[in-house]
Each structure stands twice: as structure tokens, then as C-alpha cells.
A = this chain, B = another copy of it.
Amino acid sequence: MPPPADHVEAVDLLWRYAFLLDDDKLEEWVELFVEDCVYQILTKENLAQSLPLPLVLCDNKDMLRDRVQSLRQANIYNIHTDRHVIGLPRVRVEGDQVDLSASFSLYQTDQEGVSRLFVVGHYRDTLVRRDGNLAIKQKDVILDTAGIMTLLATPI
């Protein structure tokens, strides 16, 4: 049974993860990760077949910074706002490490004001403690479909 304190803090981190994305605070979102982090987007199908070729792979924090900068300055993509609805999480404390898993649905609202389901999937997070606070060591975003690949712009 995880101590309530770690449990609450881990869930709080996941809450902030989603709210920073939904509020387009991408620079603050990057700060949830440690320097030697891994952020990857996979598909459920590939994972089930042990073919974990990611759709997106950032294996350190500079790659995340770079991605945010290119979103801000270079990329052309459909303008939208995001809304993550994250389902109930499971938290496991293993020594200094906290594992977190939760399903999510992600909705996008376009400039006409129409909200649509964008993608569903689940998160598999590994959290570690840095300077007293939990931070993301690894984030696997596992999508139920690869059908949105060409539309991937903002982080999920």
C-alpha cells in the first residue's frame, strides 16, 4: 500500500502535467521532467507485439525544450486547445521510484469552437525525487491508434 503522501504528490504531478498542456504552458510543462528523461509516444499495437518503435522519442530534456521552441516559432499546425481527461490512476512506490499509470481521453477544440475526441490511450510514468519533489524520469504515452500520426503537434 503506498503511503498517502507519495500517492497524492504523484497524482498532483499528473494533474499539473495535463493542466499545463491544456493551458498551453509548454515551457512550464518541460520543467516537470528531469534532465535525463525519456518522453515517448507509442502505440498499443506495437507494444503488444514487442515492437516498441515510438512515433515520437525525446530521450533528454533538451529535446523537449527544442520541441517546444519549434512549436512556438517554426511549426505550422491546426490551432486548437487541448483538454485531457485522465481516468483513475494506479500508483506504485518502489523504493525511491514511483510508478504511475492512468488512461486518458484527449479532446481538441478548434477555432470554430467545435470540440472533438482526438485520441485515447494511457500513460505509464516513472517518477523520481529531485530536490525533494517528484519529477518525471520516463513518460510513455501509449495510444490506442496510430491513425493520428500526421496530426501530432502539441505534446500529448
> Which residues of chain A have a CB within 8 Å of any CB of chain B?
1-2, 4-5, 7-9, 11-12, 14-16, 18-19, 22-23, 44, 48, 81, 83-91, 101-105, 107, 109, 112-117, 119-122, 144-147
Contacts and interface: CB of A to CB of B under 8 A. Distances in A.
Taken together, the copies of this chain in the complex come to 3
Instruction: Say what secondary structure dominates the interface of chain A.
Output: mixed
Contact of A85 (B8, B81, B105): B105
A9 B4 CA distance: 12
Given A88-B11, A121-B83, A114 B147 contact: yes
A15 B11 CA distance: 14
Given A101-B19, A103-B22, A144-B107, A87 B90 contact: no
20 contacts: A1-B5, A2-B8, A11-B90, A12-B90, A14-B88, A15-B102, A19-B122, A22-B122, A83-B120, A86-B87, A87-B88, A88-B88, A107-B117, A107-B120, A109-B144, A113-B147, A114-B147, A115-B117, A115-B120, A117-B117
